[in-house]
């Protein structure tokens, strides 16, 4: 199977999720949907939107397919192009590699706020011991 970069789109609010897989994109999309149906998806924002809008608003498409796909760099390029690292536009805002991209694109942080949009459990634990941070433009 040729590696692909795929995009899942929430057609109700326009938010997107960029992912890559070495399997058929349809199977990967179905895995996402199965987790969402079971309320088990790791991306809490996507889960909340699924619960609010339902499954019919989510679609997927393959945006890149190459025999020698450099998955991480190609996936990152699509995240940057679609701005999915920004919680206003996408669901990739919890991805660890996005911290570097946020800095590169002028998103800084300030003390005193727990950024629940992309923070996850790590920030909850961190805020118990130190000051939390919030990303801003």
Q: Which CATH class is domain 4-95?
A: alpha beta
Q: What is the pLDDT along the chain (137 residues), one digit of tens a residue?
A: 788 999 999 999 999 999 999 889 999 999 999 999 999 999 999 999 999 999 999 999 999 987 676 767 788 889 989 999 888 999 997 655 666 665 666 654 443 333 444 334 433 444 444 344 444 43
> 91, 93, 112, 113: which is closest to 101 by C-alpha?
93
Distance CA 23, CA 54 (A): 25
Write down the pLDDT at residue 67: 67
Q: Distance of CA 34 to CAs 20, 48, 50, 56, 60, Å?
A: 17, 14, 11, 13, 14
Distance CA 18, CA 5 (A): 7
Write down the pLDDT at residue 114: 39
Place of tokens 């690292």: 85
Residues forming CATH 3.40.1440.10 domain(s) in the chain: 4-95
Write down the pLDDT at residue 113: 38
Q: How many CB atoms lie within 10 A of CB 92?
A: 28
Whole-prediction pTM = 0.70
Distance CA 85, CA 108 (A): 13
């Amino acid at each position: 199977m040729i590696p692909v970069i795929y995009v899942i789109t929430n057609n109700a609010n326009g938010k997107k999720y960029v992912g890559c897989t070495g399997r058929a994109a349809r199977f990967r999309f179905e895995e996402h949907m199965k987790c969402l149906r079971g309320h088990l998806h790791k991306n809490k924002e996507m889960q909340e939107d699924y619960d609010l809008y339902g499954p019919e608003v989510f679609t997927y498409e393959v945006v890149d397919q190459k025999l020698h796909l450099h998955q991480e760099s190609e996936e990152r390029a699509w995240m940057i192009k679609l701005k999915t690292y920004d919680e206003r536009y996408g669901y990739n805002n919890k991805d660890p590699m996005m911290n570097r991209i946020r800095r590169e694109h002028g998103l800084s942080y300030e003390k005193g706020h727990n950024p629940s949009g992309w923070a996850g459990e790590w920030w909850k634990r961190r805020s118990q011991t130190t000051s939390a941070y919030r990303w801003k433009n």
